[in-house]
Amino acid sequence: MKSEKYSTLFLFALLLAVSSQPITAQRRGGGQRPGGGINRQPMHGGATERTRPNINNNNINNRDIDRNRNINNASRNSNNTNISGNTVNVNVDRSHDVNVVNNRNTVVQRNNIATYRRPPYVYGGARYYCYHPYVYHPYRPYYWGPAWHPWGFFVAALTVTAIVVTIENEKYHYDQGVWYAQSGGGYTVVQAPVGGTVTTIPSNSQTTVVNNVTNYYYGGAYYQKDGTTYKVVPPPAGAVVENLPEGGEEVKVGDQTYVKIGETYYQPVQVDGKNKYEVVQVESEKS
């Protein structure tokens, strides 16, 4: 009995010794614990360092790429947006633009050169005739009032006082000294067409007499009375007017500066101490 008892105890002790060997080796070997725990790496002096478990860097890289894409997109959008306020691009409706012919009444009515007592100003192969001496003053376009509009001005509709005037199969509309041509769903102001005849002109028109003929001037247009009507005529050479409309430009001819409207040259002059303009007669030196 005693021998069996001792044999059982011996086997139990042997099993206990064998089973304890791998646990001790695992603890002493510093191997990684199952379950993804924190590793302890050896350091100088026998200490250990805690290290984080391995993490999949693909997710971090993807997030960085997405963030960079968003930043780049935002940068592009901000570059395409004009926030400076200095230049603004807008869609301009050009449907009402028309080519306004400003030379219908700018072919000057010529005078007999013998009537000019002053020698002409000669420059660039042309002679510029005027009755009055040249006195420069700057060109300032004149405004004739709320019923008047400059050439090229567009209106969507006309007032009930407008009348239709047909000249050489072309239809115009006339209203209070202003001439219109239909265009772009509305009406555009044009120069008074030569030959156009109306029964009334604005009461504040100016009179200018050339060769004993009285001309009525308003808004850049010249009229001569024919019975009970007024007929548009070209600018008569030698006519002196106080004001010029918009649409002119100062042009340098040698030492003198003229105001050119269409093909008509106006010389700045002084009459009775007032700044005025005289219609110039331009002749080629070859003529």
Whether 82 is covered by a domain: the verdict is no
With a CB cutoff of 8 Å and minimum separation 6, the contacts of 51 are 38, 39, 40, 41
pLDDT average per 10 residues of sequence, the chain (287 residues): 53 52 41 42 42 45 48 41 33 34 60 93 96 98 94 95 95 97 94 95 96 96 96 97 95 97 95 97 87
Whether 102 is covered by a domain: the verdict is no
Residue closest to 102 by CA, chosen among 39, 192, 21: 192
The pLDDT score that the predictor gives to residue 87 is 32
Whether 35 is covered by a domain: the verdict is no
Whether 125 is covered by a domain: the verdict is yes
Domain that holds residue 183: 113-284
Whether 166 is covered by a domain: the verdict is yes
The pLDDT score that the predictor gives to residue 65 is 45
Q: Is the pTM of this model over 0.75?
A: no
Q: Phi and psi (nearest 5°) for 109? A: -75, 115
The pLDDT score that the predictor gives to residue 12 is 56
The pLDDT score that the predictor gives to residue 285 is 86
* Structural domains counted in the chain: 1
With a CB cutoff of 8 Å and minimum separation 6, the contacts of 163 are 173, 174, 175, 198
Whether 48 is covered by a domain: the verdict is no
Residue closest to 280 by CA, chosen among 138, 141, 116: 116
C-alpha dihedral (220, 225, 231, 234), degrees to nearest 10: -50
The pLDDT score that the predictor gives to residue 29 is 41
Whether 273 is covered by a domain: the verdict is yes
Whether 237 is covered by a domain: the verdict is yes
Cβ atoms 222, 105 nearer than 8 A: yes
